[in-house]
């Protein structure tokens, strides 16, 4: 009987050790398992057309903007870069999507667009290769943004805001400057965890 009790105690110890080891394992880092639908896309990067997985921005507050180099709103690059540099360390990112959809105001190649952004506005926030953001041929991310907000880009520099959980929380017209109180107060609220 004593031997049987010792075996039972020993087996319980092993079970306990196994359970503790299992619980201390790191959770899966597979992006497809943890990435929100709003960021579960891959696009070529503007500068070198290397594929970029947007899941790398999960857990961040994200402002998505369709851009153009020859538009009356092109100076908004300054405001975008300003808020990116101000809030990046707190978990914020701007993602730029150059598009020729509106007024054919982004006619250049990816290299020409990248050079313009760097040389004219010293853009450091991530930029995606030239793409379609409206109509039936819109890229899948913009189709999702349009579906979630019930509003499609009306012109260049239309903006969509995504919270840390990947929820699409707002859309802003081209008229709303990226560094306006309207947008920055919402970014600050989302960064602090308030909704």
Residues marked active site are found at 71
Write phi, then psi, for 111 (nearest 5 degrees).
-65, -45
Taking the C-alpha atoms of residue 148 and residue 131, their distance in angstroms, rounded to an integer, is 20
Q: How far is CA 121 from CA 57, 76, 80, 125, 187, in A?
A: 23, 10, 10, 11, 22
Query: Cβ atoms within 10 A of the Cβ of 152, count?
Result: 16
């Amino acid at each position: 009987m004593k031997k049987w009790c010792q075996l039972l105690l020993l087996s319980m110890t092993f079970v306990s050790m196994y359970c503790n080891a299992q619980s201390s394992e790191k959770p899966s880092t597979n992006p497809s398992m943890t990435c929100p639908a709003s960021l579960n896309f891959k696009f070529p990067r503007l500068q070198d057309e290397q594929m970029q997985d947007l899941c790398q921005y999960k857990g961040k507050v994200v402002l998505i903007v369709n851009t153009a180099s020859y538009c009356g709103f092109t100076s908004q690059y300054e405001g975008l870069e300003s808020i990116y540099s101000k809030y990046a360390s707190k978990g914020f990112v701007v993602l730029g999507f150059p598009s020729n959809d509106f007024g054919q105001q982004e006619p250049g190649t990816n290299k020409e667009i990248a050079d313009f952004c760097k040389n004219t506005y010293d853009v450091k926030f991530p930029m995606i290769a030239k793409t379609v953001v409206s109509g039936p041929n819109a890229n899948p991310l913009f189709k999702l943004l349009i579906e979630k907000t019930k509003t499609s880009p009306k012109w260049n520099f239309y903006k969509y805001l995504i919270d840390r959980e990947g929820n699409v929380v707002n859309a802003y017209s081209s008229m709303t400057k990226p560094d306006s109180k309207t947008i920055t107060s919402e970014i600050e609220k989302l960064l602090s965890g308030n909704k």
